[in-house]
Every structure is written in structure tokens, then in C-alpha cells.
Structure 1
Amino acid sequence: MSLLTAQGIYAGYGEADILQGINLTVGANEIVVIVGPNGAGKSTAMKAVFGLVPIRQGRIEYVGEDITNQPPERMVARGIAYVPQEANVFPSLSVLENLELGAYAIAGDITPRLEKVYEIFPRLKERRQQQAGVMSGGERQMVAMGRALMIEPRLLMLDEPTAGLSPRLIDETFERIREINALGIGVLMVEQNARQALAIADRGYVLASGRNRHEDTGAGLLADPEVAKMFLGG
């Protein structure tokens, strides 16, 4: 079953269309990765899906419902969570306060949701009273992902989740993404560490100049010599 389908999307900023008719599909419980060179439109694609960039042409469906150009708050209400690359935590608030803000629209006791997040990110429980702004880059990324999980999403969208992290933390982040996906949450991810991301992906898309250039399983893209030469550094 398709969780998310984007067809013929043209979108961008001002008068310029960064995306030139791209297509994307995320199946239920899939990890789907978008890779490509800088300026390919990868992050714009994520923002267009989440309602942060206006779509001028095309259609986006989520579990069969048209969500084209709906505002982010409606996306969240439907179970879509988005973690941007930058400015993704409230630095002056504690870890716990950040997580609680993720569930601001949830009525009732959020303790079970917190415990689920702590199971995936034990370090956040240990440091729940610590101010998010003084944490390392990897820890802030955990906070941002944990806050997104507080809505118990069906689809988690991650924009460059390993940007600026050490190799050890990159490995740890990908492992947490696999754990999240194993809970039945679909993942759509833009990632600069393309080889590692494709290694855990069910499927991947290569974008270039705002267009689809290649689509295959993660393993298929890794094994494609043209993709390797043009987009994966050989």
C-alpha cells in the first residue's frame, strides 16, 4: 500500500520552479531515500510535501487523500512528522520540554509516548532536564527526532539527519532510523551520506536539476555503475 505518492510536482520559491515534475512514492513501512548533488531539489521536495513550499503543478496523496498544498499543521494532524536539517530544537528549553512540545496537540496523558521515545533514545531520558542548546549535534538530532515521534506518526520525514555528525554518530543515527522504521513507521529521508543511507533503504531516488534521474531499490542504486560514478563518488 502506498503511504505517500507525489506525481508531477513542480514547486519552488518566488517565480522559479526548483522541482521540475518529480515523482515520489513511499510505501507503508518503507525507508525511502532521496539522494543527488547539491542544488538537485532534494530538500525542496521534502518541504513541498510538508506544505512549506508552494506546489504549482502536480498532486500529493497521503493514504489516498489529496494533501497538495495543505499547511504543515494539517500534515501533523494526519500523522506526518518532519525534521528539518537546521533549527530543529528549541535551544533554551530542556530535552523534556522539547519532547512535550511535540505532543502539544495531544489530549490526555503523554507519558506512554515519552517512554517509547526514551526506549529508542535512552540518552534523552538520562538528560531530560538538560537544556537542548548545550547538547552535541548528535544529541540535538536525537531530540528533534524524538519530538517528531511524539505525534506517533505514520510517516517520518528527515532532512539530512546526519549532517555534521561524526562517523560514529552517523552509524548510530542510521541504526535508530532502522529501529523507528521497524515500529511500522514509514521514513522518507534526504541524506548526504548516500551510500550508508541507500544501504538501509528499501528504495531510493536520485534527483538532479529538480528531476528524477534514477529510481531503484537501495541495493540496486548502489550496484548501478552509472549512479556510483555520477552521484556516489565512484
Structure 2
Amino acid sequence: MSLLEVDQIRGGYGDVDILNGVEMRVEQGEIVAIIGPNGAGKSTVMKAVFGLVKVREGRITYREKEIANLRPDQIVRQGLCYVPQEKNVFPTLTVEENLEMGAFIRNDDFSKDLEKVYELFPALYEKRRQAAGALSGGQRQMVAMGRALMLDPGLILLDEPTAGLAPAIVDLIFENIKKVNGLGVSILMVEQNAKQALKMSHRGYVLTTGRNRHHDTGENLLNNREVAEMFLGG
């Protein structure tokens, strides 16, 4: 069984289905990218997995347990974290307080995990006493990923982790994602920088109008003429 399996899900907001039979999976240790045009349902898939969007049909399993329509707090306790595109830090709390919030369901000593986050993101150690709201966009993204790591998760969902960031910072965030994956954490991400995302991903999914359009390895999708012309700018 895959770590995460999304099987023919339909759902959306109110009475409108944004997802129309989406399928995808994430294996242990993988980076998997979801790309596609605006309105394709990419972020909606992530929210459906994390219990933020109602699933009307289909199944979502994580570590072979059904999680569709569980509350987000129940899903977090399964070892799955979600990092949204916006408002992903507590701006008035310090960097360290933000990271500690990631361990809110833990009853054990998480000091070693805090050290691990600081080793992974040295810039956060330097800023640990500063309010997270005063950080740059790239640094806030590091805080959000670091906070997710404090749970010691098996899978992190990243929704547009490089949105609005300068090109140099985009490269840094992708490097950080690879570092997180190097710790053994699987990654499922929605990303607007499709070429870069596919280059670093084991596999990728292309969605259009809430449906699967293509699924292949990241390399094969990069070399797919239709994908290149329609979704990668030629």
C-alpha cells in the first residue's frame, strides 16, 4: 500500500464539485508535485486530504487508514501536516514559539527536534527571538516548514511554497524542500513553478478541471510535448 492514496474523489465547496474523480498516490520517501492551470483543483485536492474540503465520493487513505472527512486535528495526529500558501505563521509569536506550536500534540521532550530544525534552517536560529511577522517571505516559509517538522510527520502537504517569492529565494525554498525530504519525510506539493517542481520530484500529476490529465515521473512529464506546450511554457 502507498503512504497516501487518493481514490476517485469528488468534492468541493458548498454544492459545487471542484474535484471530479481525482486519483493520486504518494509513496514513502517521495516528492510528488501537482501542477496545472489556475482553477484546476490543485489546492482543493490538498485541502480535501487535510479535511478542509468536503469529500462527497471516493476514498483517501493515509498509512492504510481512511481519513476522508476527518477533522484536521484528527489528521494531524495521524502524522500528516499541511502548510498553506498564506497565513502560515503566527505573526505575533517569535520564531521559536511558532516552532514549539508545531509540537502541541506531543507529550515527550521535543528539544532534539527543535535542534534539528535549527540545523536544517540556520537562519531561523539567528531569528529565533524575533516575531515571525517581521520575517521575509522566504523566512516565514522556513518557519512554516519547520513547525510542520516538529510533529515528526510522515508526510507534509505544501501548498504553493514559493508563491510571491523572488527567484533567488525560490531556489532556496526548493533546496530546503529537498533537505526535508532527505530526512525521510514524504512531500506532496502544489507548485506554480512547474518546471522546477518537476525537476526535483519523483513523480508528478497534471490536473485540469478537477481531473487527472497526466501522471508520470517528473522527468517524463518535463519531456512530454503536450505537457510542455500547455503547462510549462513550451
Question: Match of 1:14?
Answer: 14
- The alignment partner of 1:38 has SS state of coil
Runs ≥4 residues deviating over 6 A: none
Q: Distance in 2 between matches of 1:128 and 1:62?
A: 33
Question: Match of 1:145?
Answer: 145
Q: Distance in 2 between matches of 1:173 and 1:141?
A: 8
Q: Does 1:101 align with 2:119?
A: no
Note the C-alpha offset of 1:82: 0.5
Q: Which amino acid aligns with 2:195?
A: R
Q: How does 1:15-54 map to 2 (within 5 A)?
A: 15-54=15-54
Question: Match of 2:83?
Answer: 83
Q: Distance in 1 between matches of 2:85 and 2:131?
A: 19
Note the C-alpha offset of 1:30: 0.4
- The alignment partner of 1:93 has SS state of coil
Q: Distance in 2 between matches of 1:137 and 1:178?
A: 19
Q: Which amino acid aligns with 1:142?
A: M
Identity of aligned residues (%): 60
Note the C-alpha offset of 1:108: 2.6
Q: Which amino acid aligns with 1:75?
A: I
Q: Distance in 1 between matches of 2:224 and 2:120?
A: 33
- The alignment partner of 2:37 has SS state of coil
Question: Match of 1:181?
Answer: 181
Q: Which amino acid aligns with 2:155?
A: L
Choose 103-112 or 19-28, whichever is displaced more. Answer: 103-112
- The alignment partner of 2:20 has SS state of strand
Question: Match of 2:162?
Answer: 162
Note the C-alpha offset of 1:110: 1.6
- The alignment partner of 1:34 has SS state of strand
- The alignment partner of 1:73 has SS state of helix
Q: Which amino acid aligns with 2:205?
A: Y
Note the C-alpha offset of 1:74: 1.2
- The alignment partner of 1:2 has SS state of coil
Cα RMSD (Å): 0.7
Extract unaligned runs of 5+ from structure 1.
none
Q: Distance in 2 between matches of 1:155 and 1:130?
A: 28
CA-to-aligned-CA distance 1:11-42 (integer Å, 9 cap, x gap): 10001000000001000000000000000000
Question: Match of 2:215?
Answer: 215
Q: Distance in 2 between matches of 1:108 and 1:220?
A: 43
Q: How does 1:54-93 map to 2 (within 5 A)?
A: 54-93=54-93
Q: Does 1:116 align with 2:130?
A: no
- The alignment partner of 1:215 has SS state of strand
How many residue pairs match? The answer is 234
Note the C-alpha offset of 1:179: 0.9
Extract unaligned runs of 5+ from structure 2.
none
